[in-house]
Chain A
Amino acid sequence: MSQLRWVVAIAAVVVALVVQVTLFPHVAWHGVVPNLCLLVVVAAALTVEAPFALLLGFAAGLTLDLAPPADHVAGRWALALTIAAFLAARVRQDQKPGALAVVGTVAAASFVATSLFALSGVLLKDPSMSIAGLLEVVLVAVVWDVLLTPFVLPPLMRLFSRTSPQWATT
């Protein structure tokens, strides 16, 4: 069962990544697209146990770091998504989280992950960007992620809870 869950999770990350870099640039706002990989990680953190979500966050971040259009220092998205998964897993209550809790978690995780990525860039001087520009990108990214939450999170959470029945029963 655990293996099946990994296969499902990795497939979700790959689909999210490909859609994020090919489809969404056509509707992007000044180049900012919704971070679908982050949504997959948050869905996992809200449904299944925390170690899985943390590892998935790391794996998804690493894929974002290495997949073709990326050219930043590898490990930056891995760090950001691991910490986002940790925070999202802390929010999870034992019962199914309500709609408001899900949206709030996505907004917080998106803000934290994008800011962490931007801050690591400032520290490493990877691309030297202005702080005002970074703030604009972070806020637009949060809006994008929250907008897509109602369409992406429910099916993903159902998918994750179905592949791990011990959690679905509670």
Chain B
Amino acid sequence: MGAFGGHDGRERRWRGLDRLESRNRPPRSLLVALVLASITLVTLDVSGDGASPLDPARRVVGEALGPAEAGVAAAVRPFTAVPAWFRSKGDLADQVRDLEASNAELRGQVELAGFDRNRLEQYDGLTTAAEDLGSALVPARVVALGSRQSQSFTVTIDAGSEAGVGPDMTVVNNDGLVGRVLRVTRSTATVLLVIDPDSTVGGRVGSSMEIGFVTGSGSLRQESGLDLRLVDDASVPARDDTVVTWGSATGPYAPGVPIGTITEVYSSLREASQRAVVKPFVDFSALDVVGVMVPSGSPSDRALVEADGTLR
């Protein structure tokens, strides 16, 4: 721009270019003002410890857009099911072959039952611990997913404060741990998935009862889902071990919820610690029906699934 400064007087006389210039030039002052406004917002949101000053704004936008997202998701759902109708004989044959393979694998596992009995006892203990909590599940469906461009792995579910859902509640599905509730509006809630790089869950290795921290790796691929670091550096986690939440009754994650199985173990000489890759039980790219763990008997706008499997 500055290089043409000398020609300014001559250019001015050319009406065509003058008109073009006046229409084409975005106002720098407005750009600077908006950029500063954005940076102010970022500063406000980052500096607020715990409760951000923007939370009321998030809530208002959520109240307005949440029902719209739920409505569109409900309208779209029948169409996303269409591909399943066109499965060919070849697909079904493939499925039969896969099922036969997994059946053989399961039979092999049953034959090894004696070897695994020791482990099973501990799992049983953990499962009864979960039942003792007496929590109920609020059923909900995933209505919106955050995009990868936004870098955080969050989803919106169609159950909110009216259904008895509140912040920091544990979200599970029939496979295992999904995440925890970040914030709620009346009819929707935002859930942080455990694969989010910012998510840290207290985990416990099923066979050795060693505790550690499970962090998300920021990838939707199931193989590279989660990272486990044990608190005790000396203990080596075993492959194919199950990792469950360690949690507490009051904290964000309820105890005894299965997270995944250990697929690979790396020992880092420099940090003198063990890192294990945990394959989550939940397929996060195909998340649909989930349950939010709420205290048994809490008021809700829908039927709750109680710990013993009954609907109420």
A66, B183: Cα distance in complex, Å:
12
Which of A53, A69, A90, A133 has the most chain B CB atoms inside 10 A of its CB? Answer: A69
**Given A22-B69, A69-B156, is A78 in contact with B41 using a C-beta cutoff of 8 Å?**
yes
Cβ of B196 under 8 Å from chain A = yes
In the complex, the answer to whether B150 meets A117 with C-beta atoms within 8 Å is yes
CB-defined interface of B240-283 with A at 8 Å, one 1/0 digit per residue?
Answer: 00000000000000000000000000000000000000000000
In the complex, the answer to whether B42 meets A120 with C-beta atoms within 8 Å is yes
Cβ of B30 under 8 Å from chain A = yes
Segment 58-100 of A: residues with Cβ below 8 Å from B: 58, 61-79, 82-83, 86, 89-90, 92-94
Q: A interface, by DSSP: helix, strand, loop or mixed? A: helix
A63, B30: Cα distance in complex, Å:
19
A32, B72: Cα distance in complex, Å:
19
Which of B35, B148, B185, B218 has the most chain A CB atoms inside 10 A of its CB? Answer: B148
| Contact among B24, B26, B46, B150 for A70, CB-based, below 8 A | B150
CB-defined interface of A98-124 with B at 8 Å, one 1/0 digit per residue?
Answer: 000000000000000010011011001
Cβ of B68 under 8 Å from chain A = yes
Q: Which of B94-102, B114-122, B138-146 is the contact stretch?
A: B138-146
Residues of B within 8 A of A (CB): 19-20, 23-27, 30-31, 34-35, 37-42, 44-46, 52, 54, 57-58, 61-62, 65-66, 68-69, 72-73, 76, 80, 143-156, 182, 185, 188, 190, 192, 196-198, 218-221, 285
Residues of A within 8 A of B (CB): 14, 17-26, 28, 30-33, 35, 49-51, 53-55, 57-58, 61-79, 82-83, 86, 89-90, 92-94, 114, 117-118, 120-121, 124, 126-129, 133-134, 137, 140-141
